[in-house]
């Protein structure tokens, strides 16, 4: 890359020098020349102020050069006489000849060949055209194709360098199930004959679906690293340009390069940029993006001659993708890549902490429990912030206080300790945050307050870190109601303790209103409206949905929805008031302690709430055993787990077959025993009949005997 940059700079300098020389040759040495207007020249000539004068015919003009009286020999002037002013030229000649002190000369016109004239005419144009093409080729040099002139249609896909450090499955933590799903892709790329022998076809395309920062791109790189095949990476936005047809051309070029390097992996990041549903939004049928999508569909559907090419794409908006893109034969397998759970977060933290010196006080397991909802990128950013905080303090290791500060910075922003706040506002903030804290301690299903502070951070005058007590995947109606109570705790505390309210609860109201609305219109938790869902949550127009969506309910239902939302919030508001009044003593104690300490963590909050005092603590006493080897499972580990599961299934199936065979053998022997017993009884009965006469069998025994005979025949 530096060699190319240096070569480009040299070429630009050479072109600049050539252009400068050409223009200088046209302009001449005009540094010491003074250009006189025609009237000024006539006045100087008539006044006798010219010492030297030369007249030479040029193209369509007479060129006048000379030197005024009093000028140095290096100085001169120039002027021109149009061809149509022949009378003026004759008068100038007579005046010049009549002046004895004037050195007057008439030079003949220079004869110039037509080729020379054309050359000097077109050289500037050719140089300008060459410079334009050169700059265009450099502008297109970043795409695939080596920077050739007008290289618009070449793919911009980047080939991952296999010589660099490969990304392996052990580098991907917190995504064990996702890696198990991709084991088949890795095995196919390593040994495709294993699947061909039994007629199995590997999925042609794998779509990784998940929110931003969950490691979709990293998982795709890990698949390529484990399989040891070329890895082409491109963004969905790289296909579309301002020129029509460029996107489709780049798709064709991408697949041509992939065929040359098969088996390989093509990874398209943010495929929703090019794979959005056709005919939606503001675009028309002539949309360049739709042409690109059509070409992509054609290339993916023609995989009969593209054996060994695996398509992997990533998106966080699968709902806006074109259905033709998701059908079997294209992206026929979707793998959700969600945010990690508590164990996954701990594994992610350990992966990102491998190159950071952590103090013994850092408990990554506790940090993972305090960060529900964090993605892998969020956790990486958190540890990086902790390292920056430790570096500001000139520390050699990162301790738990640095991690706590980094967590606060990530969640709420940097602290503004220099911000001047009045005592009244401090009291309001302290009781507001204490209200959230008390509700979190009283209600089992409310969010737990892990940390509360009245130090301003970001746009907030204070904040409470309210997190779920554990990872939840669905919630019940009482749990949602407790969550609303926890959000209303700050406003109710202000009203109970000061008799007035402030604007500090606007975000609490926004979240509580959203929960109440979801309970009514989405979750069917309204007793009055019943288990119904109202409205359609369409995306925005630029995300591929309709420009507007009409509600699928009447105005009367809309009024009922508003009434139900108000009833839910009002009921929980009164419930929150009763809780805070019952625990007024703890509320006041926590608020007054906040005014002194400014920040309380979970251990201190529990000490104040349950024991009425702050616990004694020392950071140096908290040591945690490190487990550096606890990272994401490798390819071999995942493969071993799948093989063990397969062996368990085979063993279970074998045991089941053996049990069935044993059961059938037992039934066969039992049937033979019963038949032998019946035959023996039958022989005894016949013998007795011959000696004593017919024997009368009890009622029902004939039917049983006949049934037994039928069973024997069957």
Mean per-residue pLDDT, 263-268: 88
Per-residue pLDDT, 700: 44
pLDDT of 274 above 80: yes
Highest mean pLDDT among 203-217, 450-464, 535-549, 700-714: 203-217
Contact 79, 92 (CB under 8 A): no
Contact 326, 207 (CB under 8 A): yes
Token pair 């029902």 in the structure block, residue = 700
Higher pLDDT, 46 or 487: 487
Look at 25-29, 266-270, 396-400, 517-521 and tell me which has the smallest mean pLDDT: 25-29
Annotated binding site: 210-217, 432, 436, 508
pLDDT of 438 above 90: yes
Per-residue pLDDT, 161: 64
Backbone angles phi, psi at 513, to 5 degrees: -65, -40
pLDDT of 79 above 80: no
Q: How confident is the model at residue 275 (pLDDT cuts 50, 70, 90)?
A: confident
Q: How confident is the model at residue 623 (pLDDT cuts 50, 70, 90)?
A: very low
DSSP 695: -
Strands 264-269, 333-336: pairing is unpaired
For 348-364, the pLDDT digits (tens) are: 999 999 889 998 888 89
As a 3-state breakdown, the chain gives helix, strand, coil percent values, each rounded to 5, of 55, 10, 35
Annotated binding site for Zn(2+): 432, 436, 508
C-alpha to C-alpha distance for 35 and 77, rounded to whole angstroms: 5
SS3 232: strand
pLDDT of 264 above 50: yes
Dihedral angle over CA of 603, 607, 613, 614, nearest 10: -10
C-alpha to C-alpha distance for 469 and 472, rounded to whole angstroms: 9
Annotated binding site for ATP: 210-217
C-alpha to C-alpha distance for 329 and 585, rounded to whole angstroms: 66
SS3 47: coil
Higher pLDDT, 69 or 689: 69
Cα angle at 636 between 633 and 640, to 5 degrees? 95
SS3 51: strand
Instruction: Give me 510's structure tokens.
Output: 């926004």
Token pair 């996702």 in the structure block, residue = 178
For 204-242, the pLDDT digits (tens) are: 889 999 888 888 888 888 888 888 888 888 888 888 776
Per-residue pLDDT, 697: 44
Mean per-residue pLDDT, 527-536: 84
Per-residue pLDDT, 684: 62
Q: Among candidates 213, 214, 253, which has minimal Cα distance to 234?
A: 253
Higher pLDDT, 307 or 249: 249
Q: What percent of the chain has pLDDT over 70?
A: 70
Rounded CA Rg of the chain: 44
C-alpha to C-alpha distance for 165 and 276, rounded to whole angstroms: 34
For the chain, the residue count is 714
Token pair 């890795």 in the structure block, residue = 186
Which of 433, 481, 494, 564 is the catalytic position?
A: 433
For 101-148, the pLDDT digits (tens) are: 777 777 776 666 667 667 777 777 887 887 777 766 665 554 444 444
Q: How confident is the model at residue 714 (pLDDT cuts 50, 70, 90)?
A: very low
Higher pLDDT, 558 or 85: 558
Q: How confident is the model at residue 577 (pLDDT cuts 50, 70, 90)?
A: very high
Higher pLDDT, 686 or 166: 166
Active site residue 592: no
Per-residue pLDDT, 430: 92
Mean per-residue pLDDT, 192-206: 82
Mean per-residue pLDDT, 473-486: 90
SS3 174: coil
Q: How confident is the model at residue 648 (pLDDT cuts 50, 70, 90)?
A: low
Higher pLDDT, 44 or 442: 442
Q: Among candidates 267, 262, 258, which has minimal Cα distance to 234?
A: 267
Q: How confident is the model at residue 485 (pLDDT cuts 50, 70, 90)?
A: very high
Per-residue pLDDT, 1: 45
> Mean of the per-residue pLDDT values for the chain?
77
Task: Say if pTM beats, i.e. exceeds, 0.75.
Answer: no
pLDDT of 634 above 70: no
Mean per-residue pLDDT, 278-307: 70
Q: How many CB atoms lie within 10 A of CB 510?
A: 10
Q: Which residues make Cβ contacts (< 8 Å) with residue 150, sequence separation at least 6?
A: 133, 136, 137, 140
Per-residue pLDDT, 536: 64
Give me the sign of the Cα torsion angle 100, 102, 103, 107.
negative
Per-residue pLDDT, 452: 86
C-alpha to C-alpha distance for 218 and 211, rounded to whole angstroms: 14
Q: Among candidates 29, 81, 77, which has minimal Cα distance to 49?
A: 77
Q: How confident is the model at residue 663 (pLDDT cuts 50, 70, 90)?
A: low
pLDDT of 492 above 50: yes
Q: How confident is the model at residue 453 (pLDDT cuts 50, 70, 90)?
A: confident
Q: What percent of the chain has pLDDT over 90?
A: 18
SS3 190: helix
Q: Which residues make Cβ contacts (< 8 Å) with residue 549, sequence separation at least 6?
A: 536, 538
Backbone angles phi, psi at 105, to 5 degrees: -140, 140
Dihedral angle over CA of 410, 411, 415, 416, nearest 10: 120
Per-residue pLDDT, 23: 61
Look at 117-121, 187-191, 396-400, 502-506 and tell me which has the smallest mean pLDDT: 117-121
C-alpha to C-alpha distance for 401 and 584, rounded to whole angstroms: 31
C-alpha to C-alpha distance for 617 and 600, rounded to whole angstroms: 12
Mean per-residue pLDDT, 16-21: 68
C-alpha to C-alpha distance for 417 and 558, rounded to whole angstroms: 46
Strands (E), 276-370: 309-315, 333-336
């Amino acid at each position: 890359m530096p060699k190319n940059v240096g070569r480009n700079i040299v070429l630009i300098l050479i072109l600049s020098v050539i252009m400068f020389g050409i223009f200088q040759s046209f302009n001449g040495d005009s540094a010491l020349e003074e250009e006189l207007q025609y009237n000024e020249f006539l006045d100087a000539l008539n006044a006798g102020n010219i010492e030297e004068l030369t007249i030479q015919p040029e193209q369509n003009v007479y060129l006048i050069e000379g030197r005024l009286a009093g000028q140095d020999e290096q100085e001169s002037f120039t002027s021109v006489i149009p061809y149509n002013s022949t009378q003026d030229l004759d008068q100038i000649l007579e005046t010049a000849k009549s002046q004895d002190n004037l050195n007057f000369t008439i030079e003949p016109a220079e004869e110039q060949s037509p080729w020379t004239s054309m050359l000097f005419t077109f050289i500037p144009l050719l140089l300008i055209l060459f410079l334009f093409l050169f700059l265009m080729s450099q502008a297109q040099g970043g795409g695939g194709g080596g920077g050739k002139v007008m290289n618009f249609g070449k793919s911009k896909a980047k080939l991952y360098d296999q010589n660099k450090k490969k990304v392996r499955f052990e580098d991907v933590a917190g995504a064990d199930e996702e890696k198990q799903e991709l084991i088949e892709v890795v095995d196919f790329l390593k040994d495709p004959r294993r699947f061909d022998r039994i007629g199995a076809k590997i999925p042609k395309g794998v779509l990784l679906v998940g929110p931003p920062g969950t490691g979709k791109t990293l998982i795709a790189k890990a698949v390529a690293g484990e399989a040891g095949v070329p890895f082409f990476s491109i963004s969905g936005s790289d296909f579309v340009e301002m020129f029509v047809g460029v996107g489709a051309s780049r798709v064709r070029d991408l697949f041509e390069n992939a065929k040359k390097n098969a088996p390989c992996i093509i990874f398209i990041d943010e495929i929703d940029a090019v794979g959005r549903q056709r005919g939606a939004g503001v675009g028309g049928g002539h949309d360049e993006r739709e042409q690109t999508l059509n070409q992509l569909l054609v290339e993916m559907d023609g995989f009969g001659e593209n054996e060994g090419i695996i398509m992997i794409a990533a998106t966080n908006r699968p709902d806006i993708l074109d259905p033709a893109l998701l059908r079997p034969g294209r992206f026929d397998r979707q793998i959700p890549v969600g945010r990690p759970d508590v164990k996954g977060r701990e594994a992610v933290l350990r992966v990102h902490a491998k190159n950071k010196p952590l103090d013994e006080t850092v408990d990554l397991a506790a940090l993972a429990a305090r960060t529900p909802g964090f993605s892998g990128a969020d956790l990486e950013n958190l540890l990086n912030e902790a390292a920056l905080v430790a570096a500001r303090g000139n520390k050699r290791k990162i301790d738990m206080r640095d991690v706590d500060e980094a967590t606060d910075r990530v969640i709420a922003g940097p602290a503004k300790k220099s911000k001047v706040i009045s005592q009244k506002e401090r009291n309001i903030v302290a009781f507001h945050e204490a209200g959230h804290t008390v509700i979190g301690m009283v209600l089992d299903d409310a969010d737990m307050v892990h940390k509360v502070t009245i130090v301003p951070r970001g746009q907030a005058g204070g904040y409470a870190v309210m997190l779920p007590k554990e990872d939840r995947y669905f919630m019940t109606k009482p749990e949602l109601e407790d969550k609303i109570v926890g959000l209303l705790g700050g406003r109710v505390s202000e009203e109970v303790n000061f008799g007035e309210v402030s604007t500090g609860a606007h975000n609490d109201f926004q979240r509580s209103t959203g929960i109440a609305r979801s309970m009514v219109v989405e979750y069917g938790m309204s007793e009055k409206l019943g288990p119904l869902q109202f409205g359609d949550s369409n995306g925005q127009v630029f995300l591929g949905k309709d420009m507007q969506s009409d509600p699928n309910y009447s105005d009367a239902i809309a009024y009922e929805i508003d009434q139900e939302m108000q009833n839910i919030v009002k009921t929980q508001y009164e419930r929150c008031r009763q809780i805070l009044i019952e625990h007024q003593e703890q509320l006041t104690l926590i608020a007054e302690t906040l005014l002194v300490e400014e920040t309380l963590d979970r251990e201190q909050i529990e000490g104040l709430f349950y024991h009425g005092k702050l616990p004694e603590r020392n950071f140096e006493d908290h040591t945690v055993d490190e487990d550096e080897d606890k990272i994401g499972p490798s390819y071999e580990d995942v493969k071993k787990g799948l093989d063990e599961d397969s062996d368990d299934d085979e063993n279970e199936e074998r045991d089941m077959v053996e049990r069935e065979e044993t059961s059938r053998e037992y039934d066969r022997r039992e049937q033979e025993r019963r038949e032998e017993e019946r035959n023996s009884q039958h022989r005894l009965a016949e013998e007795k009949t011959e000696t004593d006469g017919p024997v009368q069998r009890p009622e029902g025994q004939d039917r049983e005997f006949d049934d037994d005979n039928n069973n024997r025949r069957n």
